[in-house]
A and B are shown apart, each in its own frame.
Chain A
Amino acid sequence: GNSVTQMEGPVTLSEEAFLTINCTYTATGYPSLFWYVQYPGEGLQLLLKATKADDKGSNKGFEATYRKETTSFHLEKGSVQVSDSAVYFCALSMGNTGGFKTIFGAGTRLFVKA
């Protein structure tokens, strides 16, 4: 079946450090790929997405490239800030007869220290 695997956290970085959160997926077909972010006590919100191979999603300094050959969608940011502290979820979405189904990874908690 379809699945998403992302690196375990927590990830702890100092401000201005480089961030990578790894995400790999298994899917039959051609899913769209997403990164969602969850701040403490809140719901998830879309951070970025990519709908086909080699697409790069970007937002707020975060980037991820849809790599079909390695079935990966790693999240990167060149210089993190304290305000980036949150839980990050990788997800895929596939269409079927019942509409679209989204599968989420387990989430990676990021702590950024001043």
Chain B
Amino acid sequence: DGGITQSPKYLFRKEGQNVTLSCEQNLNHDAMYWYRQDPGQGLRLIYYSQIVNDFQKGDIAEGYSVSREKKESFPLTVTSAQKNPTAFYLCATTGQGGETQYFGPGTRLLVL
């Protein structure tokens, strides 16, 4: 099946801990994105990558880091510097043409 997978579905973070959210795609899409969704709010862009080994900050990059070593993978690390990490995190891709976004099922991050 072609698609985007995110793991885990739920993730718990302790104070001072870094955690990494996985995003994998087999759509052969070049561009990948990370969004944060808070209750009752729209999506806010954290980081995006148009091509392997390159990525740019979005609107709320502070406290997050990413890497793009492979076309298929775009992991997001939530660092201890992110003081309010509880949210629903969505990974997305765009294919050729670049307009329509395809989303993974999301990871819900909770702080213990």
Contact = CB atoms under 8 A, between A and B. Distances in A.
A95 interface: yes
Interface string B77-105: 00000000000001010100011111111
Interface residues of A, number: 25
Contacts, number: 61
Contacts of A32: 99
Nearest to A43: B103
Nearest to A105: B42
Interface centre among A36, A43, A100, A101 (most CB of B within 10 A): A43
A45 interface: yes
Interface in B1-53: 4, 6, 31, 40-43, 45, 48, 50
Which of B31, B56, B90, B101 has the most chain A CB within a 10 Å cutoff? B101
Contact of A99 (B45, B50, B92, B104): B50
Q: How large, as a class, is the contact surface on chain B?
A: 20 to 34
A107 B42 contact: yes
A24 B31 CA distance: 27
Interface in A80-114: 89, 91, 93, 95, 98-102, 104-107
Contacts of B101: 36, 44, 46, 91, 102
Interface of B: 4, 6, 31, 40-43, 45, 48, 50, 56, 90, 92, 94, 98-106
Given A42-B106, A43-B105, A100-B98, 16 more contacts: A4-B42, A43-B4, A43-B90, A43-B103, A43-B106, A45-B103, A46-B101, A49-B100, A95-B99, A99-B31, A99-B48, A99-B98, A101-B45, A104-B42, A105-B42, A106-B40
